[in-house]
Amino acid sequence: MASDASPTSVLFARGLLARLALWPALRIAVHQNWGGPQSAQKQRWLAGVITDEFEASIPPPSASLTAFDSHQSAPMHPSYALPEPDTEYIETMLLQIMDDEFEVALEDGSAFDVARDVVRLWTDAKEGKDGYVKDLEIQADQMKGKMPQYEVDAGSASDWEDSDDDNEDESGSDSENFGEVVPQLLDRAKEVPDIDEDGFTTVKRRGRQI
């Protein structure tokens, strides 16, 4: 439940949602519904997946007590923490999800920039630092109502820009309140991608490069 979420997780989720909202590649993919009608939900799902990866690196608080208690049943969670995700790991995850769920093959290096910032957000969250999170939230708020622009086969992040427009993102993601989304994220109320009856992600487009 969100009420049981640690301050670290809450702070990290806030920053993560804002950083993803600022990612031009993801913004245009959501705006153009390249991930289908559930594109906005997939953006939140992506944030949930990343949050889970970092939370898995937090040792269970009672691990030292339950791991060696032979009189108790095995704990629901492992008594050890998984390795903390690094920039390369998150970048690979972002590239794969953008390709699988939005049919976008990124070659502009922006996934690395996002991954680096995500790792920084986790480091700051563990230390209780919220300055960077607030900066990202301000920037994300300023982007609301702006139409993302892009160039196909763009070579660098400089080929992305946003234009002023009174029309909000058709998917509705630009009008979201991060404060409302964070509890849902931490409650694991995440929308999953379209899955067919055989258990595979539904593919709607292929071959787009950015």
Confidence of residue 147 (pLDDT cuts 50, 70, 90): confident
Q: Which stretches of 38-171 are assigned E, i.e. beta strand?
A: 104-105, 146-149, 161-164
Dihedral in degrees, nearest 10, Cα atoms 156, 157, 163, 165: 130
User: In which element (H, E) is residue 125 found?
Assistant: helix 110-126
In the predicted structure, residue 108 carries a pLDDT above the cut 50: yes
Q: Is-contact 100 201, C-beta < 8 A? A: yes
The count of residues in the chain is 210
The confidence score (pLDDT) of residue 156 equals 39
Among 84, 95, 156, CA closest to 121: 84
Confidence of residue 145 (pLDDT cuts 50, 70, 90): confident
Six-digit token string for 172:
């509705």
The confidence score (pLDDT) of residue 180 equals 53
Query: What is the mean pLDDT of the segment spanning 26-44?
Result: 94
% of the chain beyond a pLDDT of 70: 60
Classify 173 as helix, strand or coil: helix
Six-digit token string for 188:
């694991």
Six-digit token string for 200:
């595979």
Q: What is the pTM of this model?
A: 0.70
